[in-house]
Amino acid sequence: MTQKIPVGVLGATGAVGQRFIQLLADHPWFEVAELLASDRSAGKSYREACVWRLATPLPERVASMTVRGPEDALSAPIQFSGLDSSVAGELEARLAARGHAVVSNARNHRMADDVPLLIPEVNPDHLDALAVQRKRTGAGYVVTNPNCSVIGLAMALAPLDRAFGLESAAVVTLQALSGAGYPGVASLDVADNVIPYIGGGEEEKIEAEPRKILGRFAAGAFTPADFTLSASVHRVAVSDGHTMAIFARLRSKASAADAKRALAGFRGEPQDKELPSAPRAPIHVLDAPDRPQPRLDRDREGGMAVSVGRVREDGLFQLKLEALVHNTIRGAAGAAILNAELLRERGLLP
């Protein structure tokens, strides 16, 4: 590749925006060329506009770039969106209409009829919806990645669904602080505490999105998968890494060993095509009885692998397991970047 593809980052000063900039710093295909944030930041250098809160240094090249505002015209073909949902809906639609490929982490368009809710290992065929969408927009498109918990959940369920048929699942989440953005959760609220609630319709998203993801796109329309989900969510005092306790009822019988084999062997297009951000193994199956753990496992394969452990048989459902996903990498910015890599690989960029 002789020249990198210029990309923009929407919502560049926020928590997800910062992750985009961190993960794109040495990307082999993409290069940050434009930053967009709110009017409060527009016109400032990124260094001034942003309080960088990641543990790696703010890349110098990006630090000196000037931040644009919501009304400014953009030119990069790919626009990564870490926008807040209060503004993402309209702004992303406008950019799609102007011909950009908007690769978004925001929730606004995820469930739309012609928008892929994409996990490249799981449902790359959902990209067929882009032909429908482009007819509507007349130009560009929006591609979304799932909610930060849902990515881990859907990746853990996909191999089980393929191999054994998923009938229903219950999931209880223990979600990290970074999932709430910044400033997000007040420290007093989680000091020596757990909050059994997350706003913004978190449980509803977790119950709905996996059915679209594991469903089919055919004949111009999405058909959701036929299983029932129930979710109960919690915020815990962990910086990064969403832990999930999953109970799964399957249509055909699977021992714990069967399930572990299906999970560990799971591979998809990102692995076949060796996309730059693809983990070698999307799912790491851990045998130690007390894993996965956020601090020890969230950074596997640069935060792009989902860890699964404690796969065991269950008398009520059929299987129980724990899953862990790095919520701001595989669960947000890294997910969108992998989506963009797949778009390029498939020749779908504008």
- Classify residue 310 as left (phi > 0), alpha (psi -120 to 50) or beta: left
Phi first, then psi, for residue 274 (nearest 5°) are 50, 50
Q: Are 133 and 142 in contact (CB under 8 A)?
A: yes
DSSP 122: T
Q: Is residue 245 a contact point for its own copies (CB under 8 A)?
A: yes
Sheet hosting strand 141-144, strand order edge to edge: 30-36, 5-10, 78-81, 101-104, 141-144
**Pairing of the two strands 221-223 and 216-218:** antiparallel
Contact letters for its own copies, residues 259-298 (x by CB under 8 A): ------------------------------xxxxxxxxxx
148 is catalytic: yes
Catalytic residue among 109, 126, 242, 326: 242
Q: Tell me which of 236, 306, 325, 332 binds its own copies, using CB under 8 A.
A: 236
Nearer to its own copies, 12 or 33 (CB): 12
Nearer to its own copies, 196 or 265 (CB): 196
- Which stretch in 19-27, 156-164, 240-248, 269-277 sits in contact with its own copies by CB under 8 A? 240-248
Q: Which residue has the tokens 């210029």?
A: 6
Which among 151, 150, 121, 117 has a CA at the least distance from the CA of 275?
A: 121
Q: Tell me which of 228, 252, 255, 265 binds its own copies, using CB under 8 A.
A: 228
Q: Is residue 131 a contact point for its own copies (CB under 8 A)?
A: no
DSSP 166: E
109 is catalytic: no
Q: Are 144 and 106 in contact (CB under 8 A)?
A: yes
Q: Tell me which of 40, 53, 136, 162 binds its own copies, using CB under 8 A.
A: 53
Nearer to its own copies, 35 or 177 (CB): 177
CA distance linking residue 68 with residue 89, whole number of Å: 18
Provide the β-strand partners of residue 321. 246
Residue type, 72: D
Q: Are 321 and 287 in contact (CB under 8 A)?
A: no
**Pairing of the two strands 306-313 and 283-285:** parallel
Q: Is residue 63 a contact point for its own copies (CB under 8 A)?
A: no
Report how far Cα 272 is from the mean position of its chain's Cα atoms.
20
**Pairing of the two strands 242-250 and 319-325:** antiparallel
CA distance linking residue 118 with residue 145, whole number of Å: 5
Q: Tell me which of 28, 43, 69, 196 binds its own copies, using CB under 8 A.
A: 196
Q: Which residue has the tokens 């909610």?
A: 147
Q: Tell me which of 5, 224, 247, 251 binds its own copies, using CB under 8 A.
A: 247
Shortest CB 233 distance to its own copies, Å: 9
- Which stretch in 29-37, 107-115, 145-153, 170-178 sits in contact with its own copies by CB under 8 A? 170-178
Q: Is residue 73 a contact point for its own copies (CB under 8 A)?
A: no
- Which stretch in 50-58, 95-103, 104-112, 117-125 sits in contact with its own copies by CB under 8 A? 50-58
Q: Is residue 347 a contact point for its own copies (CB under 8 A)?
A: no
- Which stretch in 6-14, 60-68, 190-198, 261-269 sits in contact with its own copies by CB under 8 A? 190-198
Q: Are 338 and 275 in contact (CB under 8 A)?
A: yes
Q: Is residue 188 a contact point for its own copies (CB under 8 A)?
A: yes
Q: Which residues are catalytic?
A: 148, 242
Q: Which residues bind its own copies (CB under 8 A)?
A: 15, 53-57, 168, 170, 172, 174, 177-178, 182-197, 207, 228-230, 232, 234, 236-239, 243, 245, 247, 289-300, 309-310, 314-317, 320, 322
